[in-house]
Amino acid sequence: MTLHLELAPLVSLGAGIAILVFPKLLNYIVAGYLIALGVLGLLGHGF
């Protein structure tokens, strides 16, 4: 029996639980996500 886990769902689950426990954390998570997307977009590695 092999357990294969992807990183994105684990990060999503962890972030969701963290937001439920620390609601103010949502602001930092959203800000970090937007900054990361902006920097990647400017460098030409956009999605």
pLDDT digits (tens, 9 = 90+) for 6-43: 777 777 788 778 888 888 888 888 888 888 888 888 88
Q: Are 38 and 24 in contact (CB under 8 A)?
A: no
25-31 own/partner pairs: CB under 8 Å, 24+ apart: none
- Here the tokens at position 45 are 């590695």
CA–CA distance, 11 with 16 (Å, rounded to integer): 8
pTM equals 0.51
Whole-angstrom CA distances from 47 to 20, 38, 39 are 28, 10, 12
CA–CA distance, 34 with 26 (Å, rounded to integer): 12
